[in-house]
Amino acid sequence: MKKILVSQCLYGGCAVRYDGKEKACVHPTFLRWKEEGRLVPVCPEVFGGLSVPRPPAERVGDKVINAEGNDVTDAYIRGAREAVRLAKEHDVAFAIMKEGSPSCGSKRVYDGTFTGNKVSGRGLAVEMLEEAGIKVISEEEIK
Ligand code: SF4
């Protein structure tokens, strides 16, 4: 049975989000795949060396900037590379990544103004996964 890469915050059971809060996915299909041991959880931001909690960050062009004005792009790239490495190692069929995140968003991301506004765009890890030929959907598209 092929494996599926998933955002760790959707998988649940361990605090990885910037605010330390849970966002576990409870879609029945997702839970069945989890039970079957098919899911490979990854958190690109934690892989990149960022702490929990951490300041929120948003995409600004090719960069990722946090709410304190620091450029955290290098950490995001490092973590995204590790997510791609694991996707290849497990030969995943596809990936389910958390919508809206500057790493894991596949359709929408925050616009870089820290005002809660979202625009069309992808997170850095999703960009790199798709460049590596891995299909990515969000938790909103599981059905
Ligand atoms: S980087 Fe991805 S997996 Fe990690 S907390 Fe953000 S959305 Fe979830």
* Residue 101, ligand 1, Cβ within 6 A: yes
What is the pLDDT, as a whole number, of residue 40? 98
For residue range 2-56, list pLDDT tens digits in order: 999 999 999 999 999 999 998 999 999 999 999 999 999 999 999 999 999 999 9
Cβ burial 46-58 (10 Å sphere, 16+ → b, else e) = bbbebeeebbebb
Centroid of ligand 1 to alpha carbon of 39 (angstroms): 15
CB count in 10 Å sphere of residue 67: 12
* Residue 136, ligand 1, Cβ within 6 A: no
Nearest one of 111, 78, 92, 106 to 41, comparing CA atoms:
92
Centroid of ligand 1 to alpha carbon of 43 (angstroms): 5
**CA-to-CA dists, residue 54 to 15, 44, 67, angstroms:** 12, 14, 10
Number of domains into which the chain is organized: 1
Q: Containing domain of residue 88, as a range?
A: 4-141
For residue range 84-110, list pLDDT tens digits in order: 999 999 999 999 999 999 999 999 999
Q: Which two tokens stand for residue 115?
A: 């005002």
pTM value is 0.97
Centroid of ligand 1 to alpha carbon of 99 (angstroms): 9
What is the pLDDT, as a whole number, of residue 143? 87
Residue whose structure tokens are 């030969």: 91
Question: For the chain, how many residues are written?
Answer: 143
Residue whose structure tokens are 């791609």: 84
Residue 57 three-state SS: strand
Residue 110 near residue 117 (C-beta atoms within 8 A) = yes
